Structure formats: structure tokens, C-alpha cells
Amino acid sequence: RKEVEQDPGPFNVPEGATVAFNCTYSNSASQSFFWYRQDCRKEPKLLMSVYSSGNEDGRFTAQLNRASQYISLLIRDSKLSDSATYLCAVIVLFSGGYNKLIFGAGTRLAVHP
């Protein structure tokens, strides 16, 4: 089982729609969570960190559910420019005190007119 799993999609939605993605993680020692955006054939860019209390940045809302071990990303009022792959990333703390950042394979979003 992968440490971080995402539905690959694609999620095809019309402009203006609300869409949500989940990302599940298997290690309960995971301590920090992030969403990255990656445009086609481009590098990933940090979209937002995910705080325990949830956080919002404009049309984007990130939530953490520790009990069920997943994070979510909600995009409201989708724009054509939101079309991209959304990667979740999780920091897992291992015994010995070292941590590792693990990326999911991403969820592809396609927003159409």
C-alpha cells in the first residue's frame, strides 16, 4: 500500500463548479500536510499548507481529518486556469527522529467552458 494515495482523476468539471479532492495517508505519525499544483509538463508549486484547524485561501479550502487520515482540497467557482494536477504531500516522522516528505501521484483536474 502506498503511503500517500490520491484518485488520479481526471475530474472534468464546468467553469463555476465546486470540486473537492481527497488524499489519504497511511502513517498515523504523519505530521505536516501540503497541497501542490503542477501544470502540464511544469514543475510543482506549493499551493497551500494544511493546518489542523483547516485553512482557506480565496477559492481554495484545505482540511485535515486526522481520525480518518486524509486531507482534502476544495476549489470553489472553478476557473479554466485551475486545470492542473494537484499533488498532496505529507511529512512522516520516523523513529530515530528523521522525517520524510512523501508526495502523492496527484489528481488531475480539467475545467471546461
Partner 1 sequence: EADIYQTPRYLVIGTGKKITLECSQTMGHDKMYWYQQDPGMELHLIHYSYGVNSTEKGDLSSESTVSRIRTEHFPLTLESARPSHTSQYLCASRRQGYDGELFFGEGSRLTVL
Closest contact distance (angstroms) between CB of 106 and partner 1 is 8
At residue 82, φ and ψ (nearest 5 deg) are: -80, -10
Q: Which stretch binds partner 1 (CB under 8 A): 15-23, 45-53, 64-72, 73-81?
A: 45-53
**Neighbour tally for 110: CB within 10 Å:** 14
Q: Which residue, 19 or 71, is less far from partner 1 as judged by CB?
A: 71
Binding site for partner 1 (CB under 8 A): 8, 32-34, 41-46, 49, 87, 89, 91, 99-101, 103-106
